[in-house]
Structure 1
C-alpha cells in the first residue's frame, strides 16, 4: 500500500509521526513524506523518500520571526490570531497544489496528514483519498463541555465560569480567528468547496477525515459530551527510536552525577526558546542552590552563555538532552508545555511544573493541571520563587508522583505506534496497481 505522510516543517509536528511511519514501513508499506527541506536528512536516515515543499512556505521553529518580524511584538490573542492566519491558514492552497502534483508520480492510497495543515477537505473531496488526520496537540474538536481553545481554561465549574468561557469562545470565533477563517473559506472557494457555516476552523480536520489519530491518553483530555467515533486515542506517540539508539551526541550520559537526592529537568521547547528569561533563567535561579541535579535543554539557543553564567557543579546545560534516558531518574520536569515533552514525561511517570501560554501550550498545561499530574503556573514568565515553590510542593506531596505513575501505567498498557498503524490500515483502500 502506498502511504503519504504530510506534516508541517516543525519538530513537534514531524517527530511524533515518525514512529507510525516506520511501523507502517516495517509492515511492508511504501511510505513517503511531504514536508519541509529541514527534515531531508532525518528522512534519508529513516529510509523514507522525501517530497519537499515546492509552493508552500517552510514555517520552522527557528524562522518564524524572521519571516514575520512583526510577530515578535505580538502577545496573547493577537499572537494567536496572527499565527492562525499567517502560519497555518496561508499555506493551505500551496500544500494542496504540491500534493496534487506529487500524486501524479506517487498515486498514494491513503494520506496521513498533520491536523494543522488544514488540507483535509481538499484532499478528501477533490482527490478522493482515504484520509487519516494526525493530531500532535490536545484534541481540538469543539464540544459543549470543553473550553474554547488557546485560553488555558479548565472545564467550567459554575454558571459564572460558563459565561466567561462562552464570551471567550465568541471572541475567538468572531475576532481572533476571523482572518484565519476568512482565508480558509476563500481558498476553498477557489476550488468550489463550500465550508459549513457552523463549527470552528479547528473542527474541519475532524469533519473531513476518515479517521483521527489523537496523540496522548484519553485521560489527559477533558470530559466530552459527544464522542466522535473517528477519534482514536493511541497514547504517547513519541519520535521513532531505533533499538540500538543511545544518548550519543546529546551531552548527557552515564557520567552524570547521581549523588543528589533529586533531579530536575528544564526545557523551554524548540519554538519559543529565544528568550531564556521566560522560563530557563527563572528556573535556574530557583533551582541552582538546591541539593539537586539540574539538567537544562536549551534547544540549541544560547547554551554557551548559560554555561558561562551558571557554573554550579549541580547544573548541566546542553543544547539537547536525551529525555528518554534522563526521565528514568528525574523527579520533576519543568517545561513550558510542549505536548510531546509532556507525554514523554508522563510515559516515565514524572510529574511536571508547567508554565507557558503561546503556541497552544496554555491548553496543554490546563490538561496537566486538570489531570492532577503537575502544577500549572499559568504564566509565560514565572518568578523564580513561584517555580521553587511548585517544585517543593511536588516533592513534598507523593500524590503528584502517584498520579503521574498511574498515567504511566495507562500509557504502558498499549503500543501507540501499533495502534496508530492499525488505524491507517483500517481505512485504506489499496489501488489495483
Structure 2
C-alpha cells in the first residue's frame, strides 16, 4: 500500500477522470486523499475516499464560469482562452500550493497524481521552498498541445508542394505561444513571487514537461504522432467511469434491441445549459430517419424545449459502458472523455464543438478518419441528419474505428498510471 494524493482543479471535466483513477487505486489497496474543490466533497467521500478541500480562489464552482460578464464579452479563441487559463488555472496556483504543502507537511511520504492543469506542485518543482512529493505524475485528460516539429495542437499545418512541413508547424506553434503570452507572463510572475527559480516553459509545454512523468489519457492512432515527444510523456489509454451501483435501465431500454441503428447524442456534463446548440437540432434532424435516437442530457429531462420525436428516447444520465456498445453513431459537442469511450466501443463520432479542447478533439477525429468534424457548435438539423446518414454508410470510417478500438483494448490506464507513479 502506498499513500497517494490525487489533486485536480474543481473543473468537472478535469476532475472526473481523476476521481475514477482515485477509486481504482483505492480498490487496488492504496491510501488515497483527494484534493479538489469543496463542492465535490460528497462525491469523494461517498465512494470511501479521504477528502481535503482547496481554499481561496482555488475553490471555485466551474458551473458559474459562463455567468462571468467579463468572460461573456470575449471572443472564443485566444481571448477567452487567456482569460480561462489565467483565472481558472494560473491564479489559483498559490492556494493550490498551500493546500498541497499542508498535506505533505503532515506526511511527506506521499506520492502525487494530479491533473496536468493543477499547478500546485509547480513552485517546489522549480525551486521554491516546501515539500516535494515522492514522485509527481501529471495526468492529461485533453488533447496534447506539447510543441513538436511534426504537428500542432490541431494537427500538421497544411502545406503546398515543396513547402517545409516542419517549418510550417514551428511557425504555427510560435504564433500560438505569442497569442497566449498573457498566461505565460502571469504564471512566471506568480512563480517569482513564490521563490521559484528559472522560467516556466511555454504553458502548454511546461504542464507536460515539468512533472516527473506525464500520463496522457489517449492512445496512438487518436493522438498525433510526435517523433520528438519528451521521454517523460506516456500515452496510457482511457479510463472508463465505473457505473453507479444504484443505476437501473430506463423503461424503454428494450427498444435498443438491434432492430435499427442507435444514435447517441450528448452535450456533455457541463456545456448543456442551452440544448438548442446540439441536442434539439439532432432530435429534430433525425426525427424522420429509421434510427433510434438516445439523448443523454446531463441535466433534468424537462429542460427539453421541443416535443420529443417518436423515434427518440431521453435520459438525464446513462452509463456509457452500457449505452455505447449498443450505438452505431455518437454525436457530441466534442468532450474528450466521451469521444474516447465511443471509439473504444467501436462507434464512429460526429463532433460539433468550438470551445475549450473540443475543436482539437474534433480535428483528431477527422484527421484519423474516425468520424466527421462539423466545424460548428450549432449545426442545423439538416446537417446533423446528412452527416449521421453518411456515418451510418461509411464503411472505411467504421473499419478505422474498429481497428482503433483494438488499440484501446490493449491499454489499461489504471495499471499503467500506478506503475508510472510507484516506479
TM over 0.5: yes
Structure 2 match to 1:173: 177
Contact 2:5 2:111 in 1 (8 A): yes
Superposition pairs of residues 102-141 of structure 1, within 5 angstroms: 102-124=103-125, 125=127, 126=129, 127-129=131-133, 130-141=135-146
C-alpha distance after superposition, 1:190-232 (max 9, x if no partner): 12223437x4111112222111111011221111130322112
Structure 2 match to 1:276: 275
Q: Post-superposition shift, 1:12?
A: 1.8
- For 2:287 and 2:80, the matched residues in 1 are separated by 32
Structure 2 match to 1:183: 186
Structure 2 match to 1:208: 210
Alpha-carbon spacing, 1:123–1:283, altered in 2? closer, same or farther (3 Å): farther
Structure 2 match to 1:425: 422
- Which structure ranks higher in relative contact order (CA pairs < 8 Å, sequence separation ≥ 6)? 1
Q: Post-superposition shift, 1:90?
A: 1.4
Structure 2 match to 1:72: 72
- For 1:204 and 1:265, the matched residues in 2 are separated by 36
> After alignment, is 18-27 or 163-172 more displaced?
163-172
Structure 2 match to 1:293: 292
- For 1:265 and 1:9, the matched residues in 2 are separated by 28
- For 1:4 and 1:108, the matched residues in 2 are separated by 10
Structure 1 match to 2:239: 237
State yes or no: 1:304 paired with 2:308.
no
Structure 1: gaps (5+ residues): 427-433
State yes or no: 1:349 paired with 2:357.
no
Q: Post-superposition shift, 1:92?
A: 0.9
Superposition pairs of residues 308-319 of structure 1, within 5 angstroms: 309-319=306-316
Structure 1 match to 2:195: 192
- For 1:109 and 1:305, the matched residues in 2 are separated by 44
Superposition pairs of residues 386-425 of structure 1, within 5 angstroms: 386-425=383-422
Contact 1:20 1:418 in 2 (8 A): no
Contact 1:7 1:14 in 2 (8 A): yes
Q: Post-superposition shift, 1:104?
A: 2.6
Alpha-carbon spacing, 1:273–1:167, altered in 2? closer, same or farther (3 Å): farther
> After alignment, is 55-64 or 201-210 more displaced?
55-64
Q: Post-superposition shift, 1:31?
A: 0.9
Superposition pairs of residues 74-113 of structure 1, within 5 angstroms: 74-77=74-77, 78-113=79-114
Q: CA RMSD in A?
A: 2.3
Q: Secondary structure at the match of 1:46?
A: coil
Q: Post-superposition shift, 1:255?
A: 3.6
Q: Post-superposition shift, 1:236?
A: 1.2
Superposition pairs of residues 151-170 of structure 1, within 5 angstroms: 152-158=154-160, 159=163, 168-170=172-174
Contact 1:4 1:108 in 2 (8 A): no
Structure 1 match to 2:263: 264
TM-score by length of 2: 0.91
- For 1:28 and 1:326, the matched residues in 2 are separated by 30
- For 2:232 and 2:60, the matched residues in 1 are separated by 29
Contact 1:234 1:416 in 2 (8 A): yes
Q: Post-superposition shift, 1:285?
A: 1.9
Contact 2:54 2:99 in 1 (8 A): yes
Structure 1 match to 2:32: 31
Alpha-carbon spacing, 1:265–1:59, altered in 2? closer, same or farther (3 Å): farther
Q: Post-superposition shift, 1:25?
A: 2.0
- For 1:332 and 1:291, the matched residues in 2 are separated by 13
Q: Secondary structure at the match of 1:83?
A: helix
Q: Secondary structure at the match of 1:226?
A: coil
Alpha-carbon spacing, 1:422–1:160, altered in 2? closer, same or farther (3 Å): closer
Q: Post-superposition shift, 1:272?
A: 2.2
C-alpha distance after superposition, 1:329-371 (max 9, x if no partner): 1000000110000011011100110011101111111111112
Structure 2: gaps (5+ residues): none
Report how many residues are paired. 415
